[in-house]
Chain A
Amino acid sequence: MRSDLPYLGSGLGYRPELSETITRAGDRIDWLEVITENHLFAPAEQREHLRELARRFPIVPHGVELSLGSPREPDGEYLRALAELVDEVDAPWFSDHLCFTRTDQVALGLLAPLPRTRELARDLARKAQRIQDSVGVPFLVENITYYVDLATPIGEAQFITEFLEHCDCGLLLDLANLDINARNHGFDPIGFLDSIPVERVVQVHLAGGIDGRGGELSIDSHGESVPERVWALLTELLARTRIRATLVERDQNFPDDPAELLAEVDRARTALLGAHPAAAIR
């Protein structure tokens, strides 16, 4: 993996509902992540708005529909448009998920878990490498929240490790997803951190979900404040490696008072700088 990736600091996921907050409190937000598919084939004015944002903030496109884990190759037109978008906003990297969202027949519209085998991890690593090479900047792959825990020969941490060993893409570690998966499927998240190549984590996602009660699973809603458990995982991660960026992700249930989200962005920055004071200087 390239070692010269820029340090972005503490960012916020751009959503139209947060547009005003981002404009007004831009000095408290180091960078923005935008949903790739909202901009790829969007009305032209939206692209213009994005270019305006890119003059003010570093921008990273974060995709949800690449469907890396589908058996077929990704759509060439999609990849060309993605490369154009990356170029247009001068993104230091781009990201999507280690999952599938569609098959030849069905579009699930949801990040679905993969049948984790070593063979598949290696196949997907080669595919991710080809995608990274064609887009031209580093590709970060994110761990998902999964509710169906397929009885696979290897676990998620092994699958991610096998994947990373066969490509030079980076890892976008969603700590909220890790926390929810660990609770839903009964594993130790610290053990997970100790068994993946943490030095490959470039960026993290921080978010909150809904705790399951009475046999229900906890749900990754991206609609609650970041819980203390997730902040604790950030501390654990930062004790193990130096990362380039954190991102607070909120997709729904936007707080009336933006101070709540901005305080989370500040807290993440403090954690980053506290762990590696020289990080910002590069």
Chain B
Amino acid sequence: MGVHEALAAVLTCPASLTALREDPERLRREHDLTEAELAMLVGAPHVGYTTTAARVRSKLGRLVGGLLPATTAALRESDPALWETFLTGTVRQAREGERIIGLEDAELLVNLLAERAAPPLASYARFELARRRLLHDGAAAGAARAWAASPEPADAAALRDVPVAVSAAARVAVLDHDVTSGEPPHRIPAARTPMLLHRRWGEPPLAAYRVGDGTLALLARCNGRHSGRQVAESMGGDRRAAEDALSRLAARGILHAVRR
């Protein structure tokens, strides 16, 4: 409702811009405008609208490009038409309390790529978004900072009888393509690729490791309810090896003992 909303519609929706020119009465009804408000919109030279609408799209591109630089660079190179589809088809919603401006729009792009892009690029986009989310996650940064300030003892004995949990600084993402291959994002080879993302305090602030299924299973069991011993035993294989793996992860700040 109102002139702000009408102007925003004209700048983001080609049908509203056409209505402004050809059927202004429709625009007046849709946005409940007074005659005076409609006159303000109708009286503005058309070139101003087209210039601004183009700038709204380019700002969206810069915003999402800043959050997903590798994905968007590869998309512009490999499928410029799909990038254009995203820019012309996306109207950014006003979101109450949006903290990382554009993050939800970046997710819209990732969803579009999952539907329409080549699978390697869609996988890479998911990976880049997961990294971006973790980088901006306050709890992850807090955990990384606390661990850097006072790393906990990580030997197997220290973990044996206390519940262990995955740090808020760590995330797992299982991808269908090998994001570690070094190929451009739209050409990475198909391969199941479990990745462990780790927010660190220092440079670089984010590390990504390719991990095996064993580590993945171990991490899934570290849910804050089971002790190190129980986790190691539940793995069913060599208990010592599992305990060693737990202490290696703890030494990097990926796991920690839960103190009650």
Which residues of A pack against B, CB within 8 Å?
A: 37, 40-45, 65, 69-71, 75, 77, 100, 102-110, 112-113, 115, 146-153, 215-217, 219
Contact A107 B51, CB 8 Å, known A71-B2, A148-B7? no
Q: Which residue of chain B has its CB nearest to the CB of A41?
A: B99
B9 interfacial contact with A, CB 8 Å: yes
Q: Which residue of chain B has its CB nearest to the CB of A113?
A: B7
> Does B41 contact A112, Cβ atoms closer than 8 Å?
no
Which secondary structure dominates chain B's binding surface?
helix
> Does A149 contact B93, Cβ atoms closer than 8 Å?
no
- Residue numbers in A under 8 Å from B96 (CB-CB): 75
- Residue numbers in B under 8 Å from A77 (CB-CB): 97
> Does A43 contact B43, Cβ atoms closer than 8 Å?
no
- Residue numbers in B under 8 Å from A152 (CB-CB): 40
B75 interfacial contact with A, CB 8 Å: no
- Residue numbers in A under 8 Å from B48 (CB-CB): 146-149, 217
Complex CA distance for A102 and B93, rounded to whole angstroms: 9
B86 interfacial contact with A, CB 8 Å: no
B4 interfacial contact with A, CB 8 Å: yes
Binding-face segment, B56-64, B107-115, B171-179: B56-64
B8 interfacial contact with A, CB 8 Å: yes
> Does B141 contact A109, Cβ atoms closer than 8 Å?
no
- Residue numbers in A under 8 Å from B100 (CB-CB): 41
> Does B92 contact A108, Cβ atoms closer than 8 Å?
yes
> Does B12 contact A106, Cβ atoms closer than 8 Å?
yes
From A113, A147, A150, give the contact of B43 (CB < 8 A).
A150
Contact A112 B11, CB 8 Å, known A44-B141, A147-B52, A149-B45? yes
B206 to chain A, nearest CB (A): 10
Q: Which residue of chain A has its CB nearest to the CB of B36?
A: A153
- Residue numbers in B under 8 Å from A146 (CB-CB): 48
B42 interfacial contact with A, CB 8 Å: yes
B201 interfacial contact with A, CB 8 Å: yes
Complex CA distance for A115 and B43, rounded to whole angstroms: 12
Please, could you name 12 A-B residue pairs with CB atoms under 8 Å apart, sorted by A? Answer: A37-B101, A41-B136, A70-B4, A75-B97, A105-B5, A106-B8, A106-B92, A112-B7, A115-B4, A151-B42, A151-B43, A153-B36
- Residue numbers in A under 8 Å from B138 (CB-CB): 44
> Does B94 contact A106, Cβ atoms closer than 8 Å?
yes
Q: Which residue of chain B has its CB nearest to the CB of A153?
A: B36
Complex CA distance for A106 and B52, rounded to whole angstroms: 15
> Does A108 contact B145, Cβ atoms closer than 8 Å?
no
Interface readout for B28-45 with A: 1 if CB under 8 Å, 0 if not? 000000001101111111
Lowest 8 CB-CB distances: which A-B pairs, in order? A151-B43, A148-B48, A106-B8, A107-B92, A41-B99, A147-B51, A147-B48, A102-B94
- Residue numbers in A under 8 Å from B205 (CB-CB): 43, 45
> Does A115 contact B141, Cβ atoms closer than 8 Å?
no
B56 to chain A, nearest CB (A): 5
B137 to chain A, nearest CB (A): 9
B49, B63, B98, B201 — most chain A CB neighbours (10 Å): B98
Known: A41-B99, A107-B92, A108-B11. 19 other contacts (CB 8 A): A44-B145, A70-B4, A71-B4, A102-B8, A106-B9, A107-B95, A108-B56, A109-B102, A110-B59, A112-B52, A115-B4, A146-B48, A147-B49, A149-B45, A149-B48, A151-B39, A151-B40, A152-B40, A217-B47
Interface readout for B138-151 with A: 1 if CB under 8 Å, 0 if not? 10011001000000
> Does A103 contact B4, Cβ atoms closer than 8 Å?
yes
B247 to chain A, nearest CB (A): 28
- Residue numbers in B under 8 Å from A108 (CB-CB): 8, 11-12, 56, 59, 92
> Does A106 contact B5, Cβ atoms closer than 8 Å?
yes
- Residue numbers in B under 8 Å from A69 (CB-CB): 4
Complex CA distance for A113 and B7, rounded to whole angstroms: 9
- Residue numbers in B under 8 Å from A148 (CB-CB): 7, 11, 44, 48-49, 52
